[in-house]
Amino acid sequence: MEDKILGLHHITAIAGNAQRNYDFYTKVLGLRMVKKTVNFDDPQTYHFYFGDKIGSPGSILTFFPWQRVKQGKNGVGMATEIGYSVPEGSLGFWEKRFEDHGVEFGKIREQFGEQYLPFRDPDGLNLKLIVTKHKDNREAWETDEVKSDVALKGFHSVTLTLFNVGPTASILTDIFDYELEEKAGEFYRYKTNAVENAAIIDIHEDPTAERGINAGGTNHHIAFRVKDEETQMRFREKIIQKGLQITEKIDRDYFFSLYFREPGGILFEIATDNPGFTRDESLEELGNSLKLPDQYESSRDRIEKLLPELRQ
């Protein structure tokens, strides 16, 4: 049986105010709140999942919103920018929308033959909207203000910033079966042919950059996708054979996870497609109610009192 990494599964970042985070991603960007739960290690903190209609792997951006978090700083050893795929002709809509909502954004630029619009969320997280070179047929989540002809379809890519591209690239190519597709200056584009979308890792090699500080407005980790637990465990053996430390399998309720730090210091996760986000909510009700891991259900009343109020 051929083992495949199926591109990106999800990306997890750190935010500050929970309401502000929710409002920006659902109301301004028009993503769906797929799941509202808590941090497994800190149940007094929410864990939000934003994505498409069904919470497809490759569309899910998750957040730990810590109310009093210090501001982080992008730098070496971090995932420093998240790219979303958007339809052709939509960037003008987003420029106006960002201007109307007071979103910090830059000029439309081009990289690797694709136009993109860079912007930041309210916590300073770096993102960009990219008009892809290939047709992206994924079905986007629609809202009253963000229709399918302009809506975010899911991840296009994520950018890693590193002193040296080589050691991290060896993980992508030797273990994950990505290939170097293109190079532009200090940027290297790696892509897997296992999936059509959420298939790209860009590496920015910058030997002079400072190390990043992982706190508010930065990415915590990126997760790569596998079909199931059997495939996941075969990749675990490959990581061990490479001489890296990796966790045991961890049940995250909606997927199973393995975590390891790649040679450049970035936290990588390998996450399964199963069981998915409808294991405890219907498709229609996704994200509407607070879902707790089993170990915290007996403390629901106390946890709900400690969590910030969230208006949905």
Chain segment 54-100, per-residue pLDDT in tens: 999 999 999 999 999 999 999 999 999 999 999 999 999 999 999 99
CA 173, CA 181: separation in Å to the nearest integer? Answer: 11
pTM above 0.85, yes or no: yes
CA 35, CA 49: separation in Å to the nearest integer? Answer: 5
Domains, the chain, ordered by start: 8-306 (3.10.180.10)
Chain segment 89-145, per-residue pLDDT in tens: 999 999 999 999 999 999 999 999 999 999 999 999 999 999 999 889 999 999 999
**pLDDT of res. 3:** 87
312 residues of the chain, pLDDT tens digit each = 478 999 999 999 999 999 999 999 999 999 999 999 999 999 999 999 999 999 999 999 999 999 999 999 999 999 999 999 999 999 999 999 999 999 999 999 999 999 999 999 999 999 999 999 988 999 999 999 999 999 999 999 999 999 999 999 999 999 999 999 999 999 999 999 999 999 999 999 999 999 999 999 999 999 999 999 999 999 999 999 999 999 999 999 999 999 999 999 999 999 999 999 999 999 999 999 999 999 999 999 999 999 999 999
DSSP string, 10-55: EEEEEES-HHHHHHIIIIIS--EEEEEEEETTEEEEEEEEEESTT-
CA 52, CA 185: separation in Å to the nearest integer? Answer: 33
Give me the amino acid identity at 57: P
Exposure string (b/e) for 228-266, b if CB count within 10 Å is 16 or more? ebebbbebbeebeeeeeebeeeeebbbbbbbbbebbbbb
